[in-house]
Homo-oligomer: A and B are copies of this chain.
Amino acid sequence: MTDHRPASPALLTDRYELTMVQAALADGTARRRCVFEVFTRRLPPGRRYGVVAGTGRLLEALEHVRFDTRELDWLADERVVDDATLSFLADYRFTGSMVGYAEGEMFFPSSPVLVVEGTFAEAVLLETLVLSILNYDSAVASAASRMTSAAIGRPCLEMGSRRAHEEAAVAAARAAVVAGFAGTSNLEAGRRYGLATIGTAAHAFTLLHDDEPSAFASQVASLGTGTTLLVDTYDVRRGVENALAAAGTDLGAVRLDSGDLAVLAHEVRAQLDEAGARRTAITVTSDLDEYAIAALAAAPVDSYGVGTSVVTGSGAPTCGMVYKLVAREGSDGVLAPVAKAARGKASVGGRKAAARRLDSEDRALEEVLVAGPDELVRGWSSADASLRGLHVPLVTDGDVDTRWIGADGVRRAAERHRTSRDELPRGARRLSADEAAVPTVTLRLGD
């Protein structure tokens, strides 16, 4: 049978990345210094900001991008590339540099969220992997951030694993936590990234038993009175009665997974309070998205379980981020800006630096991109205290900055997200469709 999991992410890429390397190796351009930028041309319709996520996963994957025997043999057998290219790939290591927006940071149209510098061959090879990770994880984080905004401090819990590819589910859980979710049902995400995991029982557990009281008694006996009992398998009012009979008024929580959640939450809260279970929490699930969460703001709900909507980006399942060559060494050895002219897809050439301009109350006013001759942009930093620089070092001459990876990286990203979101202009977190929360302006140095 086919082994179903690769040892290396090296082949998680488009064929044309390798055939371009082959042609460039043959003509000598493979060694030209290049600068690639990752950005999106627009936000999804109505969205006011995006959230960068996946950076930590990208840096973790980068260390494993190696072409070993399995990959090389297959490429040779399939004649994907020639022998010279196979030799190059066998020795492949990314020795270039990357700077980018810190994971968790907000982004806007044209924000250069990642800048990759290296030879053409080493940098172009990473295009597909970089985009796969950033596009998916940022789509999830961008949706999740709207949900945690709408929840106004109540915990959001990610439960969407079953509605995403099984590995995407792990990335989604991680990205949701970057954007403020309090935990996830996904165990592998918990293991890999030190996330809090949650969950007690599904309807199947109640149905497995001869009746609801025996199911609840079993769950409380095994998981304790602090557990969450799912009370809507048959009849909610009766379910709450059975839950209290099984656990007493110390019951941790009840979960509602169907029906009119606002009405039910009020009824169940009254029923719990009347029985003296004032500290028993109510958690709601069932196809929640940011709008449903906002609509429940006045209901006595203690936490939200969110599934499908968060793992599919709430209507925007991918970001439109692209990985574009913006500068390259020419035959004269000089790094020069480049840009294609294709209709509707034209881009601004040259390396860009990026900063956010803040007002006197530290509210974001605009996204400032700085373009111009590479040596000016590189050295660009402003004495202007109103500008907060956005690029942080991620990889320097092939060395990955380990602050961004693993569980620490997720914690750091969640902190960045919280701080940067607080910096958005008042009203930027409204769910209603509108323009980007701040305009993007491009300054040109040396013009």
- Asked if A161 meets B13 with Cβ closer than 8 Å, knowing A20-B204, A80-B187, A199-B19, the reply is yes
When distances are taken between beta carbons in the complex, the residues of chain B under 8 Å from A149 are none
When distances are taken between beta carbons in the complex, the residues of chain B under 8 Å from A330 are 210
Answer yes or no: A64 CB below 8 A from chain B CBs. Answer: yes
Answer yes or no: A378 CB below 8 A from chain B CBs. Answer: no
Answer yes or no: A110 CB below 8 A from chain B CBs. Answer: no
How close is A420's CB to chain B, nearest CB, in angstroms? 24
Answer yes or no: A430 CB below 8 A from chain B CBs. Answer: no
Asked if A171 and B162 make an inter-chain contact with CB atoms under 8 angstroms apart, the answer reads no
Q: How far is the CA of A74 from the CA of B197 in the complex (A)?
A: 12
- Asked if A341 meets B4 with Cβ closer than 8 Å, knowing A11-B188, A328-B208, the reply is no
Asked if A131 and B162 make an inter-chain contact with CB atoms under 8 angstroms apart, the answer reads yes
When distances are taken between beta carbons in the complex, the residues of chain B under 8 Å from A107 are none
How close is A429's CB to chain B, nearest CB, in angstroms? 25
Asked if A205 and B23 make an inter-chain contact with CB atoms under 8 angstroms apart, the answer reads yes
Answer yes or no: A271 CB below 8 A from chain B CBs. Answer: no
Q: Which residues of A, 311-338, contact B by the 8 Å Cβ criterion? A: 311-313, 317-318, 320, 323-325, 328, 330-331, 338
Interface-forming stretch among A91-99, A122-130, A432-440? A122-130
When distances are taken between beta carbons in the complex, the residues of chain B under 8 Å from A223 are 19, 22-23
From the candidates B26, B127, B159, B232, name the one contacting A218 in the complex (CB within 8 A). B26
Answer yes or no: A132 CB below 8 A from chain B CBs. Answer: yes
From the candidates B15, B60, B317, B320, name the one contacting A2 in the complex (CB within 8 A). B60
Interface-forming stretch among A288-296, A386-394, A401-409, A411-419? A401-409
From the candidates B192, B201, B208, B407, name the one contacting A4 in the complex (CB within 8 A). B192
- Asked if A23 meets B201 with Cβ closer than 8 Å, knowing A4-B61, A259-B342, the reply is yes
Q: How far is the CA of A159 from the CA of B187 in the complex (A)?
A: 31
Asked if B340 and A234 make an inter-chain contact with CB atoms under 8 angstroms apart, the answer reads yes
Asked if B208 and A325 make an inter-chain contact with CB atoms under 8 angstroms apart, the answer reads yes
Q: How far is the CA of A161 from the CA of B130 in the complex (A)?
A: 11
Answer yes or no: A278 CB below 8 A from chain B CBs. Answer: no
When distances are taken between beta carbons in the complex, the residues of chain B under 8 Å from A343 are 232, 258-259
Q: How far is the CA of A16 from the CA of B161 in the complex (A)?
A: 12
When distances are taken between beta carbons in the complex, the residues of chain B under 8 Å from A169 are 12, 128, 132
How close is A171's CB to chain B, nearest CB, in angstroms? 6
How close is A220's CB to chain B, nearest CB, in angstroms? 9
When distances are taken between beta carbons in the complex, the residues of chain B under 8 Å from A64 are 4-5
From the candidates B12, B197, B210, B234, name the one contacting A161 in the complex (CB within 8 A). B12
From the candidates B36, B131, B159, name the one contacting A163 in the complex (CB within 8 A). B131
A and B contact pairs by CB, cutoff 8 A, 27 listed:
A3-B192, A12-B166, A13-B186, A13-B188, A14-B162, A15-B187, A17-B202, A20-B200, A23-B218, A23-B223, A29-B208, A71-B191, A75-B187, A127-B202, A132-B164, A132-B165, A163-B320, A164-B168, A165-B171, A203-B340, A204-B324, A207-B328, A208-B325, A210-B330, A232-B340, A259-B343, A313-B317
Top-5 shortest CB links A-B: A16-B199, A15-B199, A131-B162, A165-B168, A23-B222
Q: Which residues of A contact B (CB under 8 A)?
A: 1-6, 9, 11-20, 22-24, 26-27, 29, 32, 34, 36, 57, 60-61, 63-64, 71, 74-75, 78, 80, 82, 120, 124, 127-129, 131-133, 135-137, 159, 161-171, 185-188, 190-193, 197-210, 214, 218-219, 221-223, 232-235, 257-259, 308, 311-313, 317-318, 320, 323-325, 328, 330-331, 338-345, 402, 405-407
